[in-house]
Amino acid sequence: MLTTEDKEVLRKKGISEAQVEQQLKKFETGFPFLRLKDAASVENGGILSLDENQCNQYIEEWHAYQQGTRRITKFVPASGAASRMFKNLFEFLEADYNEPQTDFEKKFFNEIHKFAFYTRLNEVCLQNQGKDIDTLIQEGAYKIIVANLLKAEGMNYGQLPKGLLLFHKYDKGSRTPAEEHLVEAALYASANGESHVHFTVSPDHLDLFRALVAEKAPAYEQEFQTKYQVEFSIQKPSTDTVAATKDNEPFRVNGEILFRPGGHGALIENLNDLDSDIVFIKNIDNVVPDRLKADTVKYKKVIAGLLVSLQAQAFTYLHKLDTGVYTHADLEEIIRFVQQKLCCRKEDIKNLEDAELVIYLRKKLNRPMRICGVVKNEGEPGGGPFLAYNADGTVSLQILESSQIDKKNPDYVKMFENGTHFNPVDLVCAIKNYKGEAFDLTQYVDHNTGFISEKSKNGKELKALELPGLWNGAMSDWNTVFVEVPLSTFNPVKTVNDLLREQHQ
C-alpha cells in the first residue's frame, strides 16, 4: 500500500509504517466507548466543593511551595487560528446584501467602538480608504470595514491566531491574550523571581509570537517584578495522523498521502518535553481584563495548593513503601488516601495479598497528578467530569467528550445530559515523581480514546483521526481530582462578538 515516496515522507515526519497501519486499522474498527459508572458530582464525592477556610489553607500551601527551588510553568495551547471567531463576518462578506441583516451583524456594527481593536482598525481604514469607520458606516461601506479587519491587506485577523488579536482595552493601550497570559503567570505561576511561560504555536506564527513577547515582556517584567522565561514549541510532525478515504485507505492528494494535525492530544509530546515540576494549563482565549482577574488568580492558587498537598502525601507514602517497613494499618491508611483523596477505587481490593496490594498502591501513587477546575453546567458545549472504568478494572475520574459516550446506552446519555459540571480546561499538573525524575507522559495515554471525524479536502470527503485529547485520553492514567471553581473563571471567546460581553470590556 505504501510507495517508496510514501516511506520517504514518513521518514521525514518521524512516523513509522506500523503507526500508519495502526491508524488505518482504527478507521475500520473505530474507538471503543468508555464504560461509565456515573457522572462526577459534589454529591457523590467526584467533585470537591471547598469552603473559604479550605481555600485559604491551600493558597498558603501554594505560597509556601513557590518559595522553594521549584520550576513552575504556564503552558498555553495557542496554535489555533482565529478564523472560526469570524465565521459570521466571513459569511457577511460573501452575502448577497451589503448592509447588516442578522442580529450578529447588527450587534457587531452597533457596538464596534467597544472592541479593543477598534483604534487600530480605524487607522487601517484611514490608511487604505482615506476614511474613518464612522464615515464608512454612514456611506454604507460595511463590507470594506470587515475586509480591513479580516483580509491580508488590512489587519489580517481572519488568518492570525487568537493569541495575537487585541482582546482588552486599557488606559495604556490594548492587550492580546498572549499578553494576558504573561500577566497571569506573574500573578500565580512564578517562583524565584521568574515566570516561565510556554506557548504551543503554529510554525506560520512563531515569528509573530516571538516579536510580540520581545516587544511587550519588558514592561510587564517591570510592572510585576518578575523575569519572564518564554518558550515556544510547535506540534511535532511525528504526531500528524493519516487521512483516510471512505474505504479506509490512505487519502491522497496528487498521489501523496494526506496527513493532518493530530489535534490537541498531540501536545502531550510538547508537555512531556518540559523541564518543570508544576504546570498550569489553560486555553489561550480564556482570559479577562485585570479588573476581573481576582477570582482567576485565587482559584489557580487554590487548585495548585491542593495539588502540592496531595503530591506531598503521595510522596510520603511511596517513600514508606520503599523502606519495606510498614504495618497493615499503614496499608489501610494508604488505601483510604487512594480511594478518598485520589478517587481511585478497586472493587476487589480486599482480595489482594499484601505483596499484591503494595504493587497496586505503588502503581496508583507513582504517576502524574492533576487537579482540574470544573464549573457548573449552564448549557455550554464541552466535555464533562465522569467516574469511568479503566482497563485494569479500577474506577477513576476522567474528563470525557460527548463523542466518547455510547449514545445507544440510555443510562450513559442520561448521565451526560444530567451532568452538573463541565470541563473549562483549567488544569494544574505535577509531572515529576517522588524521586524528582520526570515522568514519561506518553506512557499514561489511553490510545483507545481517539476520535474519528468527517472532513473534506478539495471537495472530496475524508475521514480524519484525532489523537486522544490532551485532557481526555492523553491524561487517562493520571491521578485526577476535580474541584468546583466559579463560572467567573471561565470566559472563552468563541466569536468576535463575545468580546462585547461585560467580562471582556
Question: What pLDDT, in 10s, does the model give residues 421-467?
Answer: 999 899 999 999 999 999 999 999 998 888 898 888 888 899 999 99
pLDDT value, residue 69: 76
**Which residue in 489, 369, 468 sits closest to 425, CA to CA?**
489
What mean pLDDT comes out for the span 176-199?
A: 96
CB atoms within 10 A of CB 318: 17
What mean pLDDT comes out for the span 381-389?
A: 85
Strands (E) in 166-248, as ranges, are 168-170, 173-175, 190-191, 194-200, 227-233, 241-242
What mean pLDDT comes out for the span 163-185?
A: 96
Bigger pLDDT: 241 vs 418: 241
Phi, psi of 143 (to 5 degrees): -70, -30
What mean pLDDT comes out for the span 99-107?
A: 96
pLDDT value, residue 380: 65
pLDDT value, residue 456: 84
pLDDT value, residue 381: 59
What mean pLDDT comes out for the span 149-161?
A: 95
**Domains of the chain by start residue, with CATH:** 35-82+164-504 (3.90.550), 83-159 (no CATH)
Confidence of residue 382 (pLDDT cuts 50, 70, 90): low
11: exposed, middle or buried (Cβ count in 10 Å: 0-12, 13-18, 19+): exposed
pLDDT value at 12 more than 70: yes
Question: What pLDDT, in 10s, does the model give residues 81-102?
Answer: 888 899 999 999 999 999 999 9
Confidence of residue 182 (pLDDT cuts 50, 70, 90): very high
What mean pLDDT comes out for the span 311-316?
A: 98
Q: Looking at the chain, how many residues does it have? A: 505
pLDDT value, residue 263: 86
**Which residue in 303, 26, 128 sits closest to 120, CA to CA?**
128
Q: Among 273-277, 313-317, 421-425, 436-440, name the one with the lowest average pLDDT.
A: 421-425
What mean pLDDT comes out for the span 303-311?
A: 98
b vs e for 54-65, b when ≥16 Cβ sit within 10 Å of the residue's Cβ? ebebbbebbeeb
Question: What pLDDT, in 10s, does the model give residues 35-93?
Answer: 999 999 999 999 999 999 999 999 999 999 999 878 999 999 998 888 889 999 999 99
pLDDT value, residue 91: 95
- Grid cell digits, residue 390: 479503566
pTM: 0.94
Instruction: Share the mean pLDDT of the chain.
Output: 93
pLDDT value at 315 more than 80: yes
pLDDT value, residue 458: 82
Percent of the chain with pLDDT over 70: 99
pLDDT value, residue 417: 83
C-alpha span between 149 and 380 (Å, rounded): 28
